[in-house]
């Protein structure tokens, strides 16, 4: 691919334009994986990874609240190419160590530029190039503007805004005399020892945070509007432990345990569609075993939706329930009426007092990293496009987005998309094409255009809030992100790159 110093609309003084064949956005688990696959599958391709933050890790670097850990097992959340040797559920620190090893072992550090935030991306069909405006933050806090050009943009920026979490607007927050904290911006100086704490929310973050702080606090109240499904088990993998005892090679253990985990997860996912009531009862039974028959499971732990319509949060070793049983933590299922001077009044009239209120209310979905996109000087609205297999978008050339799975580990798809990108780049080279653009075929003309995800299939609040911002989906496999790893693991590697969905120029 060619070198270029393409001009852009805003003049930059004394700034050289740097060109790479492929530009990867974000050094989270997807971006580091992309860099690995590009290096190994397409050696000789020039590339950089631009990362807005000051280090790698993405989600695992941003979140620093006590107890932060995965809720997927690392045999599948880890990459397929690097064995995971720790406990299945890992802390952020363990995940960062693992990612750091991938970077060091493959000499990827030379390609990553930290504190480089991309603000604008413009495609020029005349030059077949993306031009990116980048703000670089220097050690002294000052910034400089840089410009990069690239033939291919690989979006590994995740799906939510890192700078700030989502906090709904509640009446009376200004009256509360204690501290309000969002877990995504956990303050270094937050002292919760001996304090009364309310955690608003009941997702994975609340379930992780509460057992981690409960012992030190006077009391923690989990205040939830509606319940979540939880499943609980030992944080150990029996098969992995047995294979280790037999001194089986770690590469084999990784592959075998991955297959077993995926086999079991497939069965559970199928049950959620074929026998939702049975699965629901099994999940509730698990909670009952921890909390006892006297606990009001119906009110606090029986969601109104089908299992897996939202993520099922994993509780390793039942730690959340141990906190509730010991009396250090409690659950209130009610809606917030108003914040008060001393805490929260609920709609049913309960007065909950607190010194600290933690809003574990989730994140703000961000479509493609809050970057202003243009194609040939026209501002691009991603919600006006249709997705090609949940990776590319109609009318948007030379761009792939990594969007993982909800019911399976994100990284499974990051690996699959990486293979796809490397195959596509090879295909373009073979064809002598400089541009690949998804386009609807004549037979797709009357295809119904649907939201990115079917709410019947999966409907967490952050998706429901932002669905209108996301690209559309068709009703054919080529035009959707199926959210089905077990189908996609065969479909994506075999996808016909010449079936008319991709136009080459």
* Chain positions contacting ligand FAD, by CB under 6 A: 25-31, 50-53, 58-59, 63, 70-72, 77, 117-118, 156-158, 162, 205, 363, 369-371, 402, 404, 409-410
Contact call for residues 254 and 83 (beta carbons, < 8 A): yes
Please state the length of the chain: 505
CA atoms within 13 A on the CB side of 187: 11
Whether the CA torsion 373, 375, 377, 382 is positive or negative: it is: negative
Minimum distance, C-beta of residue 187 to ligand FAD, in the bound complex (Å): 17
Q: How far apart are CA 504 and CA 497, in angstroms?
A: 10
Rounded-to-integer distance, Cα 440 and Cα 388, Å: 9
Pairing mode, if any, of strands 219-224 and 196-200? parallel
Per DSSP bridges, beta strands 112-113 and 356-359 are unpaired
DSSP, collapsed to helix, strand or coil, labels residue 412 as: helix
Centroid of chain to Cα 128: 30
Q: What number of CA atoms fall less than 13 Å from residue 318's CA on the CB side?
A: 15
* Between 366 and 437, CB nearer to ligand FAD: 366
Nearer residue to ligand FAD within complex by CB, 333 or 409: 409
Nearer to ligand FAD, 350 or 457 (CB): 457
User: 363 or 393, CB closer to ligand FAD?
Assistant: 363
CB of 148 or CB of 176, closer to ligand FAD: 148
- Give, for 313, the enclosing helix (H) or strand (E): strand 313-316
Residue 388 Cβ, how far from ligand FAD at the closest point, in Å?
19
Q: Which CB atom, from 202 or from 346, has the smaller least distance to ligand FAD?
A: 202
The 10 Å CB-count burial string (b at 16+, else e) for 193-229 is eebbbbbbbbbbbbbbbbbbbbeebebbbbbbbebbb
Q: In whole angstroms, how close is the CB of 433 to ligand FAD at the nearest point?
A: 27
Q: Nearest approach, Cβ of 165 to ligand FAD (angstroms)? A: 9
Smallest gap from residue 499 Cβ to ligand FAD (A):
27
3-state helix, strand, coil in the chain (%, to 5): 35, 25, 40
Count of helices and strands (H, E) across the chain: 13, 25
CB of 76 to ligand FAD, least distance (A): 8
Residues contacting 252, CB < 8 A, separation 6+ = 243
CB of 250 to ligand FAD, least distance (A): 21
Nearer to ligand FAD by Cβ, of 257 and 502: the residue is 257
CA of 174: how far to CAs of 195, 199, 344, 362, in Å? 20, 18, 12, 21
Q: Write down the least CB distance from residue 74 to ligand FAD, Å.
A: 9
User: 363 or 388: whose CB is closer to ligand FAD?
Assistant: 363
Question: Given the complex with ligand FAD, which of 186 and 305 has the nearer CB atom?
Answer: 186
Least distance to ligand FAD from the beta carbon of 496, Å?
Answer: 27
Separation of alpha carbons 45 and 76, rounded Å: 28
């Amino acid at each position: 691919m060619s070198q270029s110093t393409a001009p852009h609309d805003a003049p930059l003084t004394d700034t050289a334009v740097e060109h790479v064949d492929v530009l990867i956005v974000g050094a989270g688990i997807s971006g580091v994986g992309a860099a690995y696959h590009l290096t190994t599958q397409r050696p000789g391709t020039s590339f950089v990874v631009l990362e807005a933050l000051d280090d790698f890790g993405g989600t695992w670097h941003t979140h620093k609240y006590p107890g932060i850990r995965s809720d997927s097992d690392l045999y599948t959340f880890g990459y397929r190419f690097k064995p995971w040797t720790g406990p299945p559920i890992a802390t952020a620190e363990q995940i960062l160590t693992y990612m750091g090893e991938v970077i060091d072992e493959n000499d990827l550090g030379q390609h990553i530029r930290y504190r480089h935030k991309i603000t604008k991306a413009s495609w020029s069909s005349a030059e077949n190039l993306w031009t990116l405006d980048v703000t670089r933050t220097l050690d002294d806090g000052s910034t400089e503007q840089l410009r990069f050009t690239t033939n291919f943009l690989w979006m590994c920026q995740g799906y939510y805004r890192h700078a700030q979490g989502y906090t709904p607007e509640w009446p009376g927050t200004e009256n509360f005399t204690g501290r309000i904290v969002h877990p995504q911006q956990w303050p270094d100086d937050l002292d919760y020892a001996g304090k009364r704490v309310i955690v608003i929310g009941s997702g994975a973050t609340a379930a992780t945070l509460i057992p981690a702080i409960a012992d030190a606090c006077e009391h923690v109240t989990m205040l939830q509007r509606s319940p979540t499904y939880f499943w609980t088990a030992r944080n150990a993998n029996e098969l992995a432990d047995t294979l280790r005892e037999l001194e089986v090679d770690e590469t084999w253990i990784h592959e075998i345990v991955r297959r077993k985990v995926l086999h079991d997860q497939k069965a559970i996912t199928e049950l959620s569609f074929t026998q939702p009531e049975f699965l629901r009862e099994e999940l509730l039974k698990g909670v009952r075993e921890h909390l006892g028959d006297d606990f009001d499971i119906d009110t606090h732990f029986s969601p109104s939706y089908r299992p897996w319509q939202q993520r099922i949060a994993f509780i390793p070793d039942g730690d959340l329930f141990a906190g509730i049983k010991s009396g250090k933590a409690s659950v209130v299922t009610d809606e917030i009426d108003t914040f008060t001077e001393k805490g929260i009044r609920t709609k049913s009239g309960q007065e909950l007092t607190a010194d600290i209120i933690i809003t574990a209310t989730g994140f703000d979905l961000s479509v493609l990293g809050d970057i202003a996109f243009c194609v040939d000087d026209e501002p691009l609205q991603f919600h006006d496009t249709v997705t090609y297999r949940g990776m590319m978008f109609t009318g948007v050339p030379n761009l792939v987005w990594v969007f993982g799975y909800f019911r399976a580990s994100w990284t499974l798809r990051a690996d699959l998309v990486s293979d796809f990108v490397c195959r596509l780049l090879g295909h373009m080279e073979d064809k002598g094409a400089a541009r690949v653009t998804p386009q609807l075929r004549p037979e797709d003309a009357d295809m119904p255009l649907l939201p990115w995800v079917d709410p019947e299939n999966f409907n967490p609040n952050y998706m429901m809030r932002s669905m209108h911002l996301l690209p559309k989906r068709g009703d054919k496999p080529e035009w959707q992100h199926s959210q089905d790893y077990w189908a996609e693991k065969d479909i994506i590697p075999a996808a016909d790159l010449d079936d008319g969905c991709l136009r080459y120029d």
